[in-house]
Amino acid sequence: MLPLAYAAVLDIRKMWSAMTSTETEQAIKNEISDLIEIYRVAWNARDFEKMASLFSEPATYITPNGNLSISDKAALIVKFREQFVGLDAEGFDRTEIGEVIVTRCNQVSALVELQNLRRLRSDGSEIASMDALYICVHQQGNWRLSVAMAGDRGWNDRKTKDR
């Protein structure tokens, strides 16, 4: 007789392999979309520890001032705290995201486009509007944010016009 935990793992594997590739693809996209929503909620709650727990180590931010390679969660928490000093000075209340587009690249990586990401004050006035791009990786059974980059609002809309 199999131990109960092992039998449960086998049942999950059978269920997973029984899924069609379309179902699997959608399940992965849902997992990554959920990751983005958890990150947004943690961001709005200023839960820096939770935010950092959603990233791989190291994490990379691509900024206009250069790339930031952040070695571990403690350093990422410091980065978030510093970032929020500036946001709070501008009256930041919350972030809203217009659309999340997930493109799975392979079994362990995906691109996530956040279109019309808005930083808002409590009265709804806008501090900033941008699009963002994340590279997510599948590590230790979970999807994680790995690389983050913010861009001008509508940057991706231009890619088909510029060709």
Residues 6 or more apart whose CB falls under 8 angstroms from that of 5 comprise none
What residues have CB less than 8 Å from 119, skipping those under 6 apart? Answer: 87, 90, 92, 94, 95, 126, 127, 128, 129
Residues 130-154 have pLDDT tens digits of 999 999 999 999 999 999 999 888 8
| 114, 136 contact by CB (below 8 A) | no
Q: Residue 160 gets which letter from DSSP?
A: H
Please give the average per-residue pLDDT across 2-26, as a whole number: 59
pLDDT at residue 126 in the model: 97
Residue 43 belongs to what H/E stretch?
helix 21-44
**Each residue of 85-144: pLDDT tens digit?**
999 999 999 999 999 999 999 989 999 999 999 999 999 999 999 999 999 999 999 999
Kindly list the distances between the CA atom of residue 159 and the CA atoms of 29, 154, 162, in Å, as whole numbers in the listed order: 23, 9, 5
Omega before 58 cis (within 30°)?
yes
- Length of the chain (residues): 163
The domains of the chain are located at 4-161
156, pLDDT greater than 90? no
Given a cut of 80, whether residue 2 has pLDDT beyond it is no
Q: Which residues contact 10 (CB under 8 A, 6 or more apart)?
A: 2
User: Which of residues 44 and 8 earns the better pLDDT score?
Assistant: 44
- The CATH number of 4-161, from 3.40.50.300, 3.30.930.10, 3.10.310.10, 3.10.450.50, is 3.10.450.50
For residues 17 and 41, the model is more confident at: 41
Percent of the chain with pLDDT over 70: 84
